[in-house]
Structure 1
Amino acid sequence: MTAWIQKILHIILLLLGVSVVTFMLTYLAGSSPAMAMFQAQGIVPTEEQLALAEEMMGLNQSLGAQYWDWLSGVLQGDLGTSFLKNELVIDLIVSHMKPTVYLTVMSLVMMLAVAIPLGVYSATHKGKLVDKIVCFSAFAGISVPSFCVGIFLFYLFAIWLDWLPVMYTSFTFDRIILPAIALAVPMASKYCRQVRTTMLEELHQDYVLGARARGVSEWNILWKYVFPNSLLPMLALLGISVGSLLGGAAVVEIIFSYPGLGNLVVQAVNARDYPLIQGLVLWIAIVYLLVNQIVDGLYRIADPRTRNWRAM
């Protein structure tokens, strides 16, 4: 029980620290959200109009008072109202969460479907031509940023070949496939290398040599012992990827006009929308913390040695 209390206190302090740092950084940006709002509307405000707008937004208060008002609202379940869209921040996050979840699931499925088979095959054929091709392809995939992959896919399939729609309009496969591939390619390259490396390490362990000496088939050795053990180091890496995707892949979403959280973050920053920025950063921090706890629990289930060590 004490460990759980300490963990909860740690999470609360971490979220509080993230909110303080984010709040200070947004206000150090220099430009006024009221001015950004008028500029978005194509209006050149007078000093009186600007002062009135800042008063309505609560920007005429001290920094400490503004933060306390925001924190008080958060403790009551109110993340405030967006300056940019004049909607509740929580509603905006929820409405943009669905596309982000779809994109996250599809890109992860594509990544795992490619990375695991190629990584295993490359490890079991070390030094052969196919292994060299896989290693080179993985290195190339890691070196190319996801936004470059996105631009290439956008030009090839949406403009040149005209096979897929240019703009996102609904939750259909043909509109999500390109941004999902753009995110999956760099991840698949990284995970393929990880699977290959861990598989090679496991294949040289003593228990593999012992199993071979006892006459256990290579198929059983590979899929019953080596493969499950090689996946354990990938759990932490997978947790980071899931947290990053659920937080929003901003550049890829901007390229494909995808209405996810990443796109919303960029809009909020450009408009100096303080409540929306604060709400999004808080949400992303919560996602990372939750995913980290889930991964930690899965690791303890998958590896009894970790569970026993922590129980001591």
Structure 2
Amino acid sequence: MLHSTRENVFSQGFMVVHRHAFLRWIQVLIGFPVHIIALCIYFSKRKSNTYDALFKKKMQDLKQSEAYVNLKRSYEKQYDMKQAYFNRNLKAAEKEKFVQRQLKKRSEAIVQEELGQEVRKPMNYTEFFHRLLTDKRFVLLTFIPGILAYCMYFIYQGAFKRFVFERIVMTVFVIVSVIIIVFTILYISPSDAAANILGESATQAQRDAFNVQYGLDQSYFVQLWHALSGILTFDLGQSYTGNEVIMNSISNRFPVTLVLAISSLILAIVIAVPVGMISAARVNSFWDYTFMFIALIGLSIPSFWQGLIFIITFSIQGDLLPSSYSPGNFLSLIMPIVVLGTGLAAAIARMTRSSMLEVMHEDYMVTAKAKGLTGRETFVGHALRNAWIPILTVIGLQFGGMLGGAAVTEKVFNISGLGSYIVDKQFIPDTPAILAGVVYIAITISIVNLIVDLVYAMLNPRIRSQMKNS
């Protein structure tokens, strides 16, 4: 079989995978058919190779030659001179061991040098398989049975693709872990869903029938498996109350919560980043103290209290905005967006200020000023770009907390969102509904964190360099 000397993405990816013990076993498992075919080719090639036989014959011929006897005498003399120089007693056993070790090493080197011109030494399986992956015929022959392994080689060939893939795998692991943890907490909860829904007047037989209907009489592992398979297949079943289809309830409520969170995030970034930059540029000035004092107030105000004050001021007294949410009326979302974005804007503003102050005295800032760049160019083009990493971290963390903490704001403004839905179901407890709501919030947070990590890599060249070297 002819082999190309040029490496392709599959052979490069294989070598990256092979350097990690865990990944090495994974690629063997998912690419088992490919390795079976490669092993058959490898052993057939190895049988036809005459290197081992020639090597043994050359070694035997060398041992019977006069050169071998002279070589042995020279090593014996070398040992005697060494012991005499250090005034040590000669020991026959040690002398024999030393001479044989040196003879073996030198003889093998001589024979290998002679055989180097006659026949090539056979490769080990790793080298052989790496070379097979450069052959287009072998790849086409084994592509269908080994498609998972080839996908793995393709992903691990590039640092950025490997980074995205590993983050996606980590996200899936986090989601499954959230399902298990939340379900376990609900399972060991002392609340009895049958008693809460049917009421105190319900008989034991009615409660047992309720448990049988919703599978609550089954073991922990059976219920956990049903929960996992239901969420991963988007078949969430029905809630305990009203027999409502949970997937429909989630799909109707989640967009409102997501729009509220994203709008609040955009508002917070638009306001907080310039405020933080101004505070850093005018550190210890009137504007710095004023903005940071307002930010501290924003962090300290409870969202429910701020929401009530907004309703009294802008709805009841001012009659400017609706006091409760109305689908299709964007004006009814203004107050919830401002309330939810207040705390986030305060956190981002404080982090922007501290990050900008931290990088303003770095060496590259001094170099930029020495090159003749203006203060604005240095401040925006160099300081802000390098200060984005901690700012993005705060944005990602706060966005996740905002999705979970939106329940209070949704309750104040009567928004039928996912947060208020989870709170209402918690008092039953309606396990399938709560689990679905929490998991889909976790999915959103994981996606946001993945996007933040990708933005890290695009903004910071040091992270890209670490990805390539890892």
Fold shared per TM-score above 0.5? yes
Corresponding residue to 1:101 among 227, 249, 258: 258
- CA distance, structure 2, for counterparts of residue 75 and residue 30 of structure 1: 27
Could you tell me which residue of structure 2 aligns to residue 131 of structure 1? 288
1:247–1:287 Cα contact (<8 Å) kept: no
- CA distance, structure 2, for counterparts of residue 248 and residue 92 of structure 1: 19
Please identify, of 82-91 and 273-282, the stretch whose mean Cα deviation from structure 2 is larger: 82-91
1:122–1:131 Cα contact (<8 Å) kept: yes
- CA distance, structure 2, for counterparts of residue 224 and residue 114 of structure 1: 19
Corresponding residue to 1:121 among 243, 261, 278: 278
- Say which SS state the counterpart of residue 285 (structure 1) adopts: helix
2:307–2:339 Cα contact (<8 Å) kept: yes
For structure 1, the 5+ residue unaligned runs are: none
Please identify, of 73-82 and 302-311, the stretch whose mean Cα deviation from structure 2 is larger: 73-82
Structure 2 residue 196 is the aligned partner of structure 1 residue 36: yes
1:235-274 alpha-carbon deviations (Å, 9 max, x no partner): 1211122333345611111111111111111012122111
Identical pairs, percent: 32
- CA distance, structure 1, for counterparts of residue 439 and residue 251 of structure 2: 13
Could you tell me which residue of structure 1 aligns to residue 134 of structure 2? none
State the one-letter code of the partner of 1:295. V
Could you tell me which residue of structure 2 aligns to residue 177 of structure 1? 334
- CA distance, structure 2, for counterparts of residue 306 and residue 294 of structure 1: 15
1:57-102 alpha-carbon deviations (Å, 9 max, x no partner): 2212222222222223334331221113422222221111211122
Mark the CA change 1:75 to 1:200 in structure 2 (over 3 Å): closer, same or farther: closer
- CA distance, structure 1, for counterparts of residue 166 and residue 368 of structure 2: 43
Please identify, of 126-135 and 227-236, the stretch whose mean Cα deviation from structure 2 is larger: 227-236
- CA distance, structure 2, for counterparts of residue 103 and residue 201 of structure 1: 33
- CA distance, structure 2, for counterparts of residue 108 and residue 18 of structure 1: 24
Mark the CA change 1:272 to 1:127 in structure 2 (over 3 Å): closer, same or farther: same
- CA distance, structure 1, for counterparts of residue 392 and residue 358 of structure 2: 17
Structure 2 residue 323 is the aligned partner of structure 1 residue 166: yes
Corresponding residue to 1:60 among 203, 217, 233: 217
- CA distance, structure 2, for counterparts of residue 193 and residue 210 of structure 1: 27
State the one-letter code of the partner of 1:33. A
Q: C-alpha displacement at 1:279, in angstroms?
A: 1.0
Structure 2 residue 233 is the aligned partner of structure 1 residue 73: no
- Say which SS state the counterpart of residue 162 (structure 1) adopts: coil
Structure 2 residue 177 is the aligned partner of structure 1 residue 17: yes
Mark the CA change 1:94 to 1:136 in structure 2 (over 3 Å): closer, same or farther: same
Q: C-alpha displacement at 1:166, in angstroms?
A: 2.1
- CA distance, structure 1, for counterparts of residue 226 and residue 462 of structure 2: 47
Please identify, of 299-308 and 24-33, the stretch whose mean Cα deviation from structure 2 is larger: 24-33
Could you tell me which residue of structure 2 aligns to residue 230 of structure 1? 387
Could you tell me which residue of structure 2 aligns to residue 275 of structure 1? 432
1:1-44 alpha-carbon deviations (Å, 9 max, x no partner): 355665555444333322122112112221222222235xxx83
1:168–1:258 Cα contact (<8 Å) kept: yes
1:120–1:199 Cα contact (<8 Å) kept: yes
- CA distance, structure 1, for counterparts of residue 239 and residue 204 of structure 2: 22
Normalised by the length of structure 1, the TM-score is 0.91
Mark the CA change 1:225 to 1:7 in structure 2 (over 3 Å): closer, same or farther: closer
State the one-letter code of the partner of 1:268. K
Could you tell me which residue of structure 1 aligns to residue 410 of structure 2? 253
Q: Which has the larger radius of gyration?
A: 2
Q: Which runs of 4+ in 1 moved over 6 A?
A: none
Mark the CA change 1:13 to 1:251 in structure 2 (over 3 Å): closer, same or farther: same
- Say which SS state the counterpart of residue 249 (structure 1) adopts: helix
State the one-letter code of the partner of 2:385. P
Aligned residues: 309
Cα-Cα RMSD:
2.1
- CA distance, structure 2, for counterparts of residue 253 and residue 247 of structure 1: 11
Structure 2 residue 184 is the aligned partner of structure 1 residue 27: no
For structure 2, the 5+ residue unaligned runs are: 1-154, 157-161
State the one-letter code of the partner of 1:28. I
State the one-letter code of the partner of 1:282. V
- Say which SS state the counterpart of residue 87 (structure 1) adopts: coil
- CA distance, structure 1, for counterparts of residue 227 and residue 297 of structure 2: 45
- CA distance, structure 1, for counterparts of residue 201 and residue 318 of structure 2: 44
- Say which SS state the counterpart of residue 369 (structure 2) adopts: helix
State the one-letter code of the partner of 2:255. K
- Say which SS state the counterpart of residue 170 (structure 1) adopts: coil
- CA distance, structure 1, for counterparts of residue 198 and residue 317 of structure 2: 38
State the one-letter code of the partner of 1:188. A
2:176–2:228 Cα contact (<8 Å) kept: no
Q: 1:189-200 to 2 correspondence within 5 Å?
A: 189-200=346-357
1:183–1:252 Cα contact (<8 Å) kept: yes
- Say which SS state the counterpart of residue 156 (structure 1) adopts: helix
Could you tell me which residue of structure 1 aligns to residue 400 of structure 2? 243
Higher relative contact order by CA 8 Å / sep ≥ 6: 1 or 2? Answer: 1
- CA distance, structure 2, for counterparts of residue 301 and residue 238 of structure 1: 17
- CA distance, structure 2, for counterparts of residue 208 and residue 9 of structure 1: 38
